[in-house]
Structure formats: structure tokens, C-alpha cells
């Protein structure tokens, strides 16, 4: 897919992967719709992109509100005439051992953002995506493929999204295309800073640091845009994540030990 003149909605576009993808897509000639909750960050990004010659529209959106998702799509269609690509990037994580959590109510927030927020966006954009034989790209994770220690609620929400999108992919019978992006740990994003802690609050400065196995933001976003351009259905970053489905089916105990060790090294 040539991104030139394609209209792309990116959720969670105010920082990190979303913001970087938006800028790079704009440089490739795409018309980019920036969706996130923080108006000030969206406005700065939209101005930066416009000043560099890109077409950008900022739409303040809380994806947990279905009416705001409908308005996001409405403004996109009114401004650019349609929707070609929906990138489901918005998300929130956690880092806490389940048995140590006293109040698990923040698990609902994980589901509202990571699962229902994506469902609302897809429902609103789907008619326009079908019209253009468009693409839905989900920013997924290794936690959507198996259980992860200290990420029980996050993994559950990503499993739910995985089930929803793979089911929808079958229903669409190629009238809409799908790209499943399975990410490991990515540096230079706010995902860990904003992740829920044991107390159900953002970790902030308590966030875990990344080790040498993490991937840089530039490498990550370049790989995603290349996957869109060549029409891939799945990508794994890093590539070794692609072994998870096989190992989980054949050597689950081995895989669980490796994952537990990997989580422990993220200090």
C-alpha cells in the first residue's frame, strides 16, 4: 500500500509510537488524523507536521467513549473524504504481581482502553474501511500470545482484542485487511511510565528500565510502516517473538521459564 494520499487514523497519537508513526506517515504523503486525550500535545504535533508540509488533523478523543469514536471518524470523513487505515495504537499496561494487588478495579480500565476502546473505533470506522478496502492495524504485544507474569490484567485485555480482531478478520473475508503487530519492549515510549502499579496508579518514576533486548522507537516505527507498505499480515518485533505460538503449543514449560526470567531482568 502506497501511503501517499491515504487517510490514516492513529489512536494514542500524542506521544511514543503513535506520534512517531504519524510524523513518518505524513512525510510519506499520508493524510494523518491524530487521536488522543491530551489536546495540547495533539495541537503541537499537528502544527509540527503541518509546518513541515504534512496534512494532519488533531481530534481530541477518549476512545473509551463510543460517541467520541464516532465523532473522530465523522471529522475524518468530513475533512479527508474517507478512511483507508485505522491504527489501533492507544493502550495502557500494568506491572504488578496479582496476589499482591488489594484493589483490582483498575483491571476494568485496562479492558476499557485496550479492548473496548479498540472495538468502538473499529465499529465506527468499519463501513468506510470496507468502502476503500482499507486496513486495520493493531499494536499488539507478546502478552496477547501467552500469559505474562506481572501483566495478568494487561494480557487479558490483549487476549480479548486478539480474539475480537481475528474473528472480525474471518467475517470480513478480505474486504478489509488486517495487520497484527506483536511488540516486545520498546524504548522511548511512555507505556511503562503510564502503566498501572501495584496501587492502581501510574508507575511514573517507579517505572522499570529497559534492558539491551528492547527495541528503539525508530526501528519499531520504520518496520511497521514497511509492513503496511508491502501488505504483511503479521510482524514480530523483535523477530524471535514469532516463536512464541509454536513454543507455547509444544514446550510451554520451557517458554514460561524463559518469559519469567526475561521479566525479572527488566529492572
Catalytic residue annotation: 154
Residue with cell 512517531: 20
Taking the C-alpha atoms of residue 242 and residue 135, their distance in angstroms, rounded to an integer, is: 22
Adjacent-strand bridge partners of 60: 36
- Within 8 A by CB and 6+ apart from 179, the residues are 135, 136, 137, 138, 227, 228, 232, 233, 234, 235
Count Cα atoms within 13 angstroms, Cβ side, for 179. Answer: 25
Interior/surface letters 115-150, b for 16+ CB within 10 angstroms, e for the rest = bbbbbbbbebbbebbeeeebbbbbbbbbbbbbebeb
Under a CB-based contact definition with an 8 Å cutoff, are residues 2 and 26 in contact?
no
CB atoms within 10 A of CB 230: 8
Taking the C-alpha atoms of residue 246 and residue 215, their distance in angstroms, rounded to an integer, is: 23
Strands 234-237 and 85-88: unpaired
- Within 8 A by CB and 6+ apart from 108, the residues are none
Please, is 255 exposed, middle or buried when counting C-beta atoms within 10 Å of its C-beta (0-12, 13-18, 19+)?
Answer: buried
Rg (CA), the chain: 18
Amino acid at each position: 500500500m502506497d501511503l501517499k494520499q491515504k487517510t490514516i487514523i492513529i489512536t494514542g497519537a500524542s506521544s511514543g509510537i503513535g506520534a512517531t508513526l504519524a510524523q513518518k506517515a505524513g512525510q510519506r504523503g499520508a493524510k494523518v488524523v491524530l487521536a488522543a486525550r491530551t489536546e495540547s500535545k495533539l495541537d503541537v504535533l499537528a502544527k509540527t507536521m503541518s509546518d513541515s508540509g504534512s496534512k494532519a488533523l488533531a481530534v481530541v478523543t477518549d476512545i473509551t467513549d463510543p460517541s467520541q469514536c464516532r465523532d473522530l471518524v465523522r471529522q475524518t470523513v468530513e475533512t479527508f473524504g474517507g478512511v483507508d487505515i485505522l491504527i489501533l495504537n492507544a493502550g495502557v499496561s500494568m506491572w504488578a504481581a496479582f496476589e499482591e494487588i488489594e484493589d483490582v478495579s483498575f483491571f476494568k480500565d485496562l479492558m476499557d482502553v485496550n479492548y473496548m476502546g479498540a472495538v468502538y473505533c473499529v465499529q465506527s470506522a468499519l463501513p468506510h474501511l470496507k468502502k476503500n478496502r482499507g486496513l486495520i492495524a493493531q499494536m499488539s504485544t507478546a502478552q496477547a500470545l501467552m500469559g505474562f507474569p506481572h501483566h495478568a490484567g494487561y494480557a487479558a485485555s490483549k487476549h480479548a482484542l486478539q480474539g475480537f480482531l481475528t474473528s472480525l478478520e474471518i467475517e470480513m473475508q478480505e474486504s478489509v485487511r488486517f495487520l497484527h503487530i506483536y511488540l516486545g519492549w520498546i524504548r522511548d515510549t511512555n507505556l511503562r511510565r503510564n502503566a498501572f502499579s501495584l496501587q492502581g496508579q501510574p508507575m511514573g518514576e517507579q517505572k522499570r528500565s529497559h534492558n539491551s533486548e528492547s527495541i528503539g522507537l525508530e526501528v519499531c516505527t520504520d518496520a511497521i510502516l514497511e509492513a503496511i507498505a508491502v501488505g504483511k499480515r503479521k510482524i514480530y518485533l523483535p523477530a524471535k517473538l514469532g516463536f512464541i505460538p509454536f513454543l507455547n503449543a509444544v514446550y510451554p514449560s520451557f517458554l514460561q521459564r524463559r518469559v519469567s526470567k526475561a521479566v525479572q531482568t527488566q529492572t
